[in-house]
């Protein structure tokens, strides 16, 4: 594929499945080149993910990435910039989800969750920012669990996700003089491999039951979140920064029965 130097470059963590893969595929269709980070120990097929993005016309560099490791994040960003020569958008999407009642919440479980879902966001942004120019955009993925609601047996996950909008609000102020923007997405119930995990999340039956309480009468699709992220990284949102957009099919504004 012939690449124009004007085509932007986006770095995406957790790009091999769910929202990350949907975004990489959408960017491919829109001519955005992608530095796609995947975690090698995940069960997702990175070869299939890469093929999907390529089939959509994408120019993507797939690199291993562990957002819990500063060295891994540094290598991911440096290799991506060496390959494409620039970086314009950064999407902190990688995350883990683990069920743990509070009485079973060890320091290790707590710290492992925050190290990925919260500090991992900071690591990615910290490493990327020095390489960004004016009009750059950063987006982090929060969750309706923590970002809006509480979730039993997931206090560590909710705590991490509740803090993500705080990072984005602060960076929006800090980076604004450089012309950079930073926003958060708060997805509602989205059908992803993570939410379909019966052990740590709702599973298929739980999602189907929860859909009945959503005004749109269904859970969301990863592609629907990807479109909002693409908007936030486009010039169409050039005056939007420091915000947390809830994308939930109306769940949080529904009058309780």
**Residue written as token pair 């893969």:** 21
Q: Please, are residues 199 and 177 in contact by the beta-carbon 8 Å criterion?
A: no
239 is annotated as an active-site residue = no
Whole-number Cα distances in Å, 45 to 50, 72, 74, 153, 252:
9, 20, 24, 29, 34
Give every CB contact of residue 114 below 8 A, 6+ residues apart in sequence: 156, 159, 160
Contacts of the segment 71-80: beta carbons below 8 A, 24+ positions apart: 73/120, 73/123, 73/124, 73/127, 74/127, 76/11, 76/13, 76/35, 76/37, 76/127, 77/11, 77/35, 77/124, 77/127, 77/128, 77/131, 79/35, 80/9, 80/11, 80/35
Q: Which of 27, 149, 157, 239 is catalytic?
A: 157
Residues designated catalytic = 157
């Amino acid at each position: 594929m012939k690449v124009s130097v004007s085509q932007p470059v986006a770095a995406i963590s957790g790009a091999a499945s769910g929202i990350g893969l949907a975004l990489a595929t959408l960017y491919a269709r829109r001519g955005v080149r992608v530095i796609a980070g995947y975690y090698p120990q995940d069960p997702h097929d990175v070869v299939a993910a890469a093929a999907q993005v390529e089939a959509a016309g994408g120019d993507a560099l797939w690199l291993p990435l562990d957002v819990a490791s500063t060295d891994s994040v540094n290598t991911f960003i440096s290799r991506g910039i060496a390959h494409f020569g620039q970086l314009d958008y950064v999407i902190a999407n990688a995350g883990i989800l683990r069920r743990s009642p509070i009485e079973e919440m060890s320091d290790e479980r707590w710290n492992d969750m925050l190290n990925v879902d919260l500090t991992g966001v900071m690591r990615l942004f910290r490493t990327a920012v020095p390489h960004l120019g004016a009009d750059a955009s950063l987006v982090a993925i929060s969750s309706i669990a923590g970002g809006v609601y509480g979730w039993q047996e997931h206090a560590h996950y909710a705590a991490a996700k509740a803090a993500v909008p705080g990072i984005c609000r602060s960076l929006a102020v800090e980076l604004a003089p450089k012309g950079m923007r930073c926003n958060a997405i708060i997805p509602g119930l989205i059908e992803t491999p993570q939410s379909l995990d019966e052990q740590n999340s709702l599973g298929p039956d739980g999602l189907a039951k929860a859909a009945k309480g959503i005004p749109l009468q269904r859970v969301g699709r990863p592609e629907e979140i990807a479109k909002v992220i693409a908007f936030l990284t486009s010039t169409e949102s050039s005056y939007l920064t420091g915000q947390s957009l809830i994308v939930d099919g109306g769940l949080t504004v529904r009058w309780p029965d």
